[in-house]
């Protein structure tokens, strides 16, 4: 099963609390932004706002590939999290996104 989540600036996984297990990034982002009283203008703005808050979008595939979509430099907590994935045998693919 593919795992989708965000990594917050401290390096903690943030998955859906309200939806089904394995919920999508849009749903997760909407939950996080609502908790912070941020109202995105549309679906695309959910991602923009999440990246502005220095969250990283992560997809872990069953084959061990981990896609890491980010805008800024990784925080030390985020870097530590990804280093642990790499040491566990995962392959990381970093995708730099302009915001």
The domain ranges of the chain are 3-96
Q: Which two tokens stand for residue 84?
A: 């642990």
What pLDDT is attached to residue 66? 97
What pLDDT is attached to residue 15? 78
pTM comes to: 0.88
* pLDDT digits 0-9 by tens, 60-94: 999 999 999 999 889 999 999 999 999 999 999 99
Question: Cα dist. 85→11, 24, 55, 68 in Å?
Answer: 12, 21, 17, 11
Q: What percentage of the chain exceeds 90 in pLDDT?
A: 81
d(CA 92, CA 43): 26
């Amino acid at each position: 099963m593919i795992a989708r989540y965000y990594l917050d600036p401290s390096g903690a996984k943030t998955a859906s609390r309200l939806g089904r297990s394995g919920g999508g990034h849009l749903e997760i982002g909407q939950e996080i932004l609502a908790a912070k009283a941020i109202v995105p203008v549309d679906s695309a703005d959910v991602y923009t706002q999440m990246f502005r808050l220095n969250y990283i979008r992560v997809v872990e595939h069953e084959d061990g590939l981990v896609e890491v979509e980010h805008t800024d430099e990784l925080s030390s907590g985020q870097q530590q999290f990804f280093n642990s994935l790499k040491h566990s045998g995962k392959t990381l693919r970093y995708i730099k996104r302009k915001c």
